[in-house]
């Protein structure tokens, strides 16, 4: 299903858990962490960052992608995502539709992998095409 090694998957998930602790989510109390692996081999972390005006809030996945792109990265292999209430890991945290669309801007739909793990240790890996078929592109 994935050309990622188990070691890389575990590193991405543990990085995402660390990022979840940096989440700033006083309004939803739902904390999300993400870890994005670039084709250059670097890992970019991200967390959700909320705002009192709500709409300026940013998801963990987009934080990671925007950090990476702003550092000159354009090609990515995978992203790990964990999330849950009050800093705990809960159910599998699937990316929202907006984040899927942002992934589609930079990531190959068939080779880019989205890795999620829940509190029970279940790991699910999906391709971007699985989660966003027929993506809009110009």
By CB under 6 A, name the binding residues for ligand THU.
Answer: 25, 28, 30, 32, 48, 50, 57, 59-61, 93, 95-96, 99
Residue 93 sits at the vertex; the CA angle it makes with 91 and 95, to the nearest 5 degrees, is: 160
Q: How far is the CB of 89 from ligand THU (least distance, A)?
A: 13
Q: Which residues of 11-31 are buried (b: 16+ CB within 10 A; e: fewer)?
A: bbbebbbebbeebebeeeebb
> Do the beta carbons of residue 109 and residue 132 sit within 8 Å?
yes
Q: How far is the CB of 125 from ligand THU (least distance, A)?
A: 16
The answer to whether 10 is a known catalytic residue is no
Q: How far is the CB of 108 from ligand THU (least distance, A)?
A: 20
For ligand THU, the closer CB: 52 or 138? 52
């Amino acid at each position: 299903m994935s050309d990622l090694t188990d070691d890389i998957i575990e590193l991405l998930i543990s990085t995402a858990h660390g990022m979840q602790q940096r989440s700033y989510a006083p309004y939803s109390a739902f904390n999300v962490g993400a870890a994005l692996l670039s084709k250059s081999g670097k890992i970019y972390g991200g967390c959700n960052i909320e705002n009192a005006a709500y709409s300026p809030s940013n998801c963990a996945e987009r934080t990671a992608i925007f950090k990476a792109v702003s550092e000159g990265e354009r090609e990515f292999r995978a992203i790990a995502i964990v999330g849950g209430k009050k800093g705990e890991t809960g159910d599998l945290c699937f990316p929202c539709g907006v984040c899927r669309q942002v992934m589609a801007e930079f990531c190959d739909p068939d080779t880019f992998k989205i890795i999620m793990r829940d509190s029970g240790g279940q790991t699910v890996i999906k391709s971007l095409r699985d989660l966003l078929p027929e993506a809009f592109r110009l």
